[in-house]
């Protein structure tokens, strides 16, 4: 068999006989933690955050300071709307500290100007 015949045979195989399995062949490469993360991301993406009543920035900052001193968990809703015209998911956790720009909750900075409301979750 010369190069030309071999090339024709290969081309014929890929054009007529070969069936690409697509995504199926890659499923075996996903580990359980990858799958769990994908499911969690999908769930977050499809969660509709309920609109909470807005409070003033002074009241929000006072609540955040009190929660910081008392080691209380807080839930912060930001005044940020995603592309589906829904509020971004609320942030819940401990207040780690403050900066001139905002508050740190679970090590993530939330700018003061985006805070819509703060709910203090009592640990009692």
Residue 8 in this model has a pLDDT that exceeds 80: yes
Same domain, 28 and 64: no
Residue 75: per-residue pLDDT: 95
pLDDT digits 0-9 by tens, 32-81: 777 778 787 777 666 778 889 999 999 999 999 999 999 999 999 999 99
Same domain, 61 and 103: yes
Same domain, 68 and 102: yes
The whole domain housing 34 covers 3-45
Residue 58: per-residue pLDDT: 96
Residue 73: per-residue pLDDT: 95
Q: Using the structure block, give the residue that is written with the tokens 């900075």.
A: 109
The residues that bridge with 87 in the sheet, in sequence order, are: 49, 81
**Pairwise CA distance, residues 11 & 75, whole Å:** 61
Same domain, 116 and 70: yes
pLDDT digits 0-9 by tens, 75-104: 999 999 988 888 888 999 999 999 999 999
């Amino acid at each position: 068999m010369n190069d030309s015949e071999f090339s024709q045979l290969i081309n014929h195989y890929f054009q007529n006989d070969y069936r690409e399995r697509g995504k199926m062949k890659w499923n075996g490469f996903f580990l359980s933690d990858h799958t769990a993360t994908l499911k969690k991301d999908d769930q977050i993406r499809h969660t509709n955050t309920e609109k909470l009543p807005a409070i003033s920035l002074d009241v929000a900052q006072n609540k955040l300071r009190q929660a910081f001193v008392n080691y209380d968990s807080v839930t912060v809703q930001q005044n940020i709307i995603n592309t589906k015209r829904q509020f971004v998911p609320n942030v819940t956790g401990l207040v780690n500290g403050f900066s001139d720009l905002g508050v740190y909750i679970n090590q993530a900075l939330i700018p003061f100007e985006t805070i819509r409301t703060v709910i203090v979750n009592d640990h009692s």
